[in-house]
Amino acid sequence: MDDIVRLISGEWVSTVLTALYGKPLQYSELLSVISREMTVNNWSAGARVLHEATLTRTLRRLVLAGLVERIESPGALRRSVCYALTASAEELLAALGPAAKWAEQHAGLIERAQRRHARGNRAAP
């Protein structure tokens, strides 16, 4: 379990993986999808903004981890680059589906824990 958490930890990792689920996207499309979804669906990312440099670092990390594939296609004027989930990443997201459902069912618990963490308080063991 710790290995999985380390693999998908990071500020924007789950957001990028979710945005790529089911469809390859070019860099600008990916940035647009994430920005739009954060606004429309009020994702847990809240008021944060995904900057291009952060997206670039996150994609590079996910490609190195084998979760995202960088696909280059030569074009007449310039090459086109898309990003897509690898089969392993799709399997991982499918396996995490029950965890996401658990998070929805226990949203109050998660919110309380986030508030305690933000205040720097620790719950008694």
Give, as one character, the DSSP assignment of residue 79: -
Q: Which residues of the chain have pLDDT under 70?
A: 39-47, 76, 121-125
- pLDDT at 18 (0 to 100): 93
pLDDT at 45: 46
Contact 100, 93 (CB under 8 A): no
pTM of the model: 0.79
Largest pairwise CA distance in the chain? 63
Handedness of CA 57, 60, 66, 67 (dihedral sign): positive
